Amino acid sequence: MKTIELKLRDEFIRLGQALKAAGIAQSGVDAKFMIQDGEVTVNHEQELRRGRKLYDKDEVSCGDVLIKIVK
């Protein structure tokens, strides 16, 4: 599994933005469909909300990629 550390610039980042920033989704529309299709988990639980706020120490997984949110 490939791991990407995503550094927060603010207090949080939204899930759709995190997928784009990590290079997993090419656009917001791609991120939306990945999330709607159940391909994304946050902290080991399926997440269906594109606007979910991610904070320090949250982990997002999509396929064989793990995104760690760090402050």
- For the chain, which domains are there? 2-70 (3.10.290.10)
Q: By the 8 A CB rule, do 5 and 70 touch?
A: yes
What are 14's two structure tokens? 């939204």
Percent of the chain whose pLDDT exceeds 90:
99
Rounded CA gap, 21 and 23, in Å? 5
DSSP code string of 43-62: TTEE---TT-EE-TT-EEEE
pLDDT for 1 equals: 87
Q: Which is it for the CA torsion 23, 24, 29, 32, positive or negative?
A: negative
pLDDT for 10 equals: 95
Q: For the whole model, what pTM was predicted?
A: 0.93
